């Protein structure tokens, strides 16, 4: 282990791990402390040596005063897929706690330790997406009602950036029908469909606070979660989110979609408000629901195709072909003639053909 040649040190570390000896274990830990994570190749050799040591003996070293020693022990337990690795989620060193999160969550995972990783989301002294994303996803994968509540509470924390809050809300939105691709790694992980009620209850518990304290970006994903979960018991919240001060056009657009999906009784009223809004995206979405507001789709589309923006024209065409008005064929024939003579906006040419 003291040899200057890295190959010699590497083979020595691996060989020591195969000796059923307390002295061999002590020598490996001492080598890790001396290396202090400077040489990553040698550290890996020490880990390979430790990976054959019984997990019980390794766990006895989880409180070692050296962070370098604790790290090699953690990595050895990872190779053994031992659930006792969860003890390192409470480590005072944020780097080691994050490494424990990676070990438990990634690759084939350590399923028995996932609940502990889910609970670690409550730690407030660790900052970093590597840790947060895996702890968030662990709550989603474990899928207990308490995990849904934990994700909701995480959204309201003032020390968390918006992109992490929206990630937690996205997990709640997909709670009932989990996707087969892992959100962190893209690995195939099939999760059995489950009841939406825990996620709906979690969203309801934070709705009032979220409306007052969170940004439009976070509120937008919250509204999306409502209609993805078909949370009809919370449909009354939609008008509050549409009318909230400083609501973005994107948030109001999402509210319109939710109202349409959840058959809100006041959809027509808010469609009219959307049609009069200055936001292009919101107006375009409102055009699609014009009939719900008692507005003639044909007349509205005809007007927009003359003077609207590209987004509005596309929305108008999309809505127009779904109507039963007999005048639609005549209008489409005129658009086709304009297309043939290059008198139409090239940005909607494909939409006209479709």
93-118 pLDDT per residue, tens: 999 999 999 999 999 999 999 999 99
Biggest alpha carbon distance in the chain? 91
pLDDT-derived band of residue 252, with 50, 70 and 90 as boundaries? very high
pLDDT of residue 220: 97
pLDDT of residue 150: 98
- CB within 8 A of 170, min separation 6: which ones? 183, 221, 225
Q: For the segment 195-219, what is each residue's pLDDT rounded down to a tens digit?
A: 999 999 999 999 999 999 999 999 9
pLDDT of residue 319: 85
Q: For the segment 37-54, what is each residue's pLDDT rounded down to a tens digit?
A: 999 999 999 999 999 999
Please state the rounded mean pLDDT for residues 2-14.
Answer: 88
pLDDT of residue 67: 97
b/e sequence 173-194, b meaning 16+ C-beta within 10 Å: bbbbebeeebbbeeeebebeee
Can you tell me the distance from the alpha carbon of 117 to that of 165, in angstroms, rounded to the nearest whole number? 18
Cβ atoms within 10 A of the Cβ of 47, count? 23
pTM over 0.85: yes
pLDDT at 4 over 90: no
Cα-Cα-Cα-Cα torsion 260, 264, 268, 272, nearest 10 degrees, comes to: -80
């Amino acid at each position: 282990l003291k040899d200057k040649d890295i190959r010699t040190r590497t083979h020595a570390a691996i060989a020591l791990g195969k000796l059923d000896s307390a002295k061999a274990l002590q020598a490996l830990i001492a080598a890790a402390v001396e290396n202090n994570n400077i040489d990553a190749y040698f550290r890996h050799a020490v880990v390979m040596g430790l990976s054959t040591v019984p997990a019980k003996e390794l766990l006895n070293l989880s409180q070692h005063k050296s962070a370098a020693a604790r790290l090699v022990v953690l990595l050895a337990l990872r190779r053994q897929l031992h659930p006792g690795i969860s003890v390192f989620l409470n480590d005072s060193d944020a780097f080691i706690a994050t490494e424990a999160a990676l070990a438990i969550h990634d690759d084939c995972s350590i399923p028995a330790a996932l609940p502990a990783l889910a609970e670690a989301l409550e730690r407030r002294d660790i900052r970093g997406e590597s840790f947060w994303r895996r702890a968030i996803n662990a709550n989603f994968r474990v899928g207990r009602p308490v995990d849904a509540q934990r994700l909701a509470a995480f959204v309201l924390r003032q020390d968390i950036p918006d992109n992490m809050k929206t990630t937690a809300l996205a997990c709640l939105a997909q709670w009932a029908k989990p996707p087969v691709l892992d959100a962190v790694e893209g690995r195939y992980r099939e999760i059995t469909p489950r009841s939406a009620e825990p996620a709906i209850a979690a969203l309801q518990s934070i709705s009032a606070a979220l409306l007052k304290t969170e940004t439009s970006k976070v509120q937008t994903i919250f509204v999306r979660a409502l209609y993805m979960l078909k949370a009809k018991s919370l449909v009354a919240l939609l008008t509050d989110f549409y009318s909230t001060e400083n609501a973005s056009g994107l948030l109001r657009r999402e509210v319109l979609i939710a109202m349409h999906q959840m058959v809100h009784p006041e959809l027509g009223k808010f469609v009219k408000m959307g049609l009069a809004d200055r936001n292009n995206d919101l107006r375009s979405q409102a055009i699609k629901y014009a009939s719900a507001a008692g507005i003639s789709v044909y007349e509205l589309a005809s007007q927009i195709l003359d003077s609207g923006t590209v987004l509005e024209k596309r929305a108008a065409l999309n809505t127009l072909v779904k109507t039963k008005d007999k005048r639609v064929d005549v209008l489409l024939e005129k658009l086709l003639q304009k297309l043939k003579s290059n008198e139409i906006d090239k940005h909607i040419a494909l939409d006209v053909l479709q």
